[in-house]
Structure 1
């Protein structure tokens, strides 16, 4: 049997790719009042700007159960679990605890060093190696290599939710300035940081695309574009990327799921680039 690849729902992968590659997705939790909502499973209708909405990682117990089933499905070939950055969520640490409890070397844990499609593209790289029949070391190595090569850039309208959730490491630099600037963020070694402040919306989208193009260089690349309630802006960004990246070999498009949307807010647009591609 083949190695099984597991991820969490923040990876934002389209359902057809998940089904085609046999990827196992563990739901993260969105908390609203006294409700605990499983992302991708339970219906969600939320005000993403509300102080009453927050998120929660998958628990060690949840992950242990999923890893056990995945290992059984692999018939001993092994499991590679790729989760969002441990700097941004407790999910990776919960996975580490779950694997320690299981006491097996046949489950490998990978920090994607990102979130959203920055997790999803390394998952694709690993899952395609698994489907091709590669062993545990090769599948794990593909995920680690893809995570280390990917670069992520976000444009958000406001950083209030990110500050409130403790996800933004340069929050102090925003105070008193958000009303006249658009924050362009990037993920560096798993941490969300300010890249620059841009004065106008049109210039902000141009700078977002430029950052992605610069990160790719002259290599072929896989690209992911995500948004929350900003379909027109995402379409414009995608068209510019197609024009400026002639060696773009794969494009994955998705909306941000609720667990990320709670922190990014409406109007967010993100680009993930993976130089070299992810085996598509």
Structure 2
């Protein structure tokens, strides 16, 4: 067989894409009304106001890694997870991996959404080509280091309630009316720039993505929650301003991330590098998909 890649549901990979590359996706959890919903498995309520979330448990990850290791016929497992600064999933994975010795390697993507999805896909491509455990692990680490996640939220209340606002906490209080551009730095969600209107914030979001993309080949993902028109407008402007797009996908984020960023949020993941190693098709043909 070959090395198997495991990730979690915050990666925003569609079930079809995960199946195609043999990626095992472990669900994160949405908790509401005394019930526990597994993202990507259970029908999560549309209304995410007041919900809480939790990462995958060590037991869930132990089971996932054991199944993946069996599928690999002992070749090994590379597990690429959401930033340890944003979720307890990586730490749970570290605990679970100890049961398997050197056969399970854990990668902190220091990101989420397609900032996690692209490293998982790149690693799976290396595995499918016959790469060994070390090569698959290194590819995930390398692509994760190149990715940048930027996001604009309509309201900071969701991030404040979920405790995910990090060093952007200075925006709270009277600054809740601000429309900030946030980004993930060393795995933490921090303030990049303050703006006063949604229009200005989205403009700054595009500017920042263009700056990060440079002039070489790049994969882009535009994420949103209940804001398809905003996402489409951002994607259209990125297509006009960035010359080296190897892929541009537009996806609606899942419930776990959605519970923290709130309706109206729009994010962009910029991942510079050769299109054939970081895009699902290994080529420059743009595509659009919807992740659940």
After TM superposition, the structure 1 stretch with the greater mean CA deviation from structure 2, 245-254 or 153-162, is: 245-254
After TM superposition, the structure 1 stretch with the greater mean CA deviation from structure 2, 127-136 or 230-239, is: 127-136
Q: 1:3 to 1:103 in 2, by over 3 A?
A: closer
- The residue number in structure 1 matching 2:57 is 59
> Aligned ranges for residues 133-152 of structure 1 at < 5 Å?
133-152=130-149
CA distance in 2, matches of 1:193, 1:104: 35
- Decide whether the 8 Å contact of 1:39 with 1:259 is kept in 2: yes
CA distance in 1, matches of 2:195, 2:171: 14
TM-score computed with the length of structure 2 as normaliser? 0.92
Where does structure 2 lack aligned partners over 5 or more consecutive residues?
283-292
SS of alignment partner, residue 93 of structure 1: helix
CA RMSD of aligned residues (A): 1.1
- Decide whether the 8 Å contact of 1:13 with 1:254 is kept in 2: no
Measure how far apart 1:33 and its partner are: 2.2
- The residue number in structure 2 matching 1:268 is 265
> Aligned ranges for residues 1-280 of structure 1 at < 5 Å?
1-50=1-50, 53-100=51-98, 102-169=99-166, 170-179=168-177, 181-277=178-274, 278=278, 280=282
CA displacement 1:219-261 (0-9 Å, x = unmatched): 2101111100000000011111111111110122211100111
- Decide whether the 8 Å contact of 1:158 with 1:183 is kept in 2: no
Q: After the TM superposition, which segments of 4 or more aligned residues of structure 1 sit over 3 Å from their partners?
A: none
Where does structure 1 lack aligned partners over 5 or more consecutive residues?
none
CA distance in 1, matches of 2:238, 2:126: 27
CA displacement 1:170-219 (0-9 Å, x = unmatched): 2133320222x211100000000011111222221111011011011122
Q: 1:133 to 1:103 in 2, by over 3 A?
A: closer
TM-score computed with the length of structure 1 as normaliser? 0.96
Aligned residues: 276
